[in-house]
Amino acid sequence: MLLTLLLRLLILLKFMLLKRKKRLLRLLRVMRPALLPNRKQKKKFSFMSGKDLYRVLSGFFFERNRYVAEDTYLIAGLGNPGQNYENTRHNVGFQIVDAIARQVNEYLELTKWEAQYCRVALWGGRLFFVKPQSFMNLSGKSIARFADYFKISPENILIIHDDIDMSPGRLKLVTGGGPGGHNGIRSIIQCLGTKDFFRLKYGVGRPGQDGVHSGIPVDRYVLGALSGEEQDQVDKRMPFLLDGVEAFVKSGSQKAMNIINSVK
């Protein structure tokens, strides 16, 4: 009995040393019957059951929500929903994630948290292919819900999107950094609370640069339809994109970068 009491006092001391004041107060309130004599029977002690003690202490020793599904990946393409935006430059992320899913015989037919998605066991991991349906500047809400519910860490999140500061057809896989003027990425950073996720950028060019149409406002340009030549370019990049995403899951980000960033 004395050893048990001493053990419990040592546990309390540990929490004091860790300066977890709020948790310590909660623990004292719950364990008070186990540590103090029963006033009605002064010579006896009233102890908690072992099961109850374990349940209480487990919540204090271990931080909640520490579990992360290391083999789960979120592959998301960004765009705007609706037929009016299909095959536009701003929706190239949608087009790419759809094409990758089709290559592995999957289709984004399920809906959850304002997103279309599919789930598949592939390349040694569990993958979620996702297309947020809440318009570009609110994309982060769906991404954050998937990441939180399925315990997907930021380093296992890959966002595919257009980039006007890269020449048409250029590919680049990066991690971290700011949104670069992309409202979808800005929303994801805000909702995830971190910049440390991966972005696979597909260059669509900026009006007036690299031979791209001049005299067109940027917003009209990105919401314009891909030309036949631009669509052919997307199709030619698909084998590299598929290989890059596969490498991202199977071998890690560095191997994926070697594949994606070497495409000219």
Q: Beta strand 72-77 with 115-122: parallel, antiparallel or unpaired?
A: unpaired
Q: Is the pLDDT of residue 5 over 90?
A: no
Enter the DSSP assignment of 120: E
Q: Where are the alpha helices (DSSP H) in 18-85?
A: 21-35, 50-61
Active-site annotation holds for 182: no
Q: Give the 3-state secondary structure of 220-255.
A: HHHCCECCHHHHHHHHHHHHHHHHHHHHHHHCCHHH
Q: pLDDT tens across 113-150, in order? A: 999 999 999 888 899 999 999 888 899 999 999 999 99
Residues 110 and 80 in one domain: yes
Residues 62 and 85 in one domain: no
> Who has greater pLDDT, 64 or 237?
237
Residues 103 and 195 in one domain: yes
Among the options 90, 161, 182, 213, which is catalytic? 90
Residues 199 and 94 in one domain: yes
Given this model, what pLDDT does residue 7 score? Answer: 65
Contact of 151 with 67, CB cutoff 8 Å: yes
Is residue 4 in some structural domain?
no
Domain that holds residue 199: 71-262
Residues 235 and 254 in one domain: yes
Is residue 13 in some structural domain?
no
Percent of the chain with pLDDT over 90: 48
Is residue 14 in some structural domain?
no
The whole model's pTM is what? 0.72
Tokens, residue 74: 């979120």
Helix (H) or strand (E) holding 115: strand 115-122
**Order of all β-strands in the sheet with 125-132:** 110-111, 115-122, 125-132, 72-77, 157-163, 198-203, 171-175
Total domains in the fold of the chain:
2
Is residue 2 in some structural domain?
no
Contact of 75 with 130, CB cutoff 8 Å: yes
Q: Which of 147-156, 172-181, 200-209 has the highest mean pLDDT?
A: 147-156
Is residue 170 in some structural domain?
yes
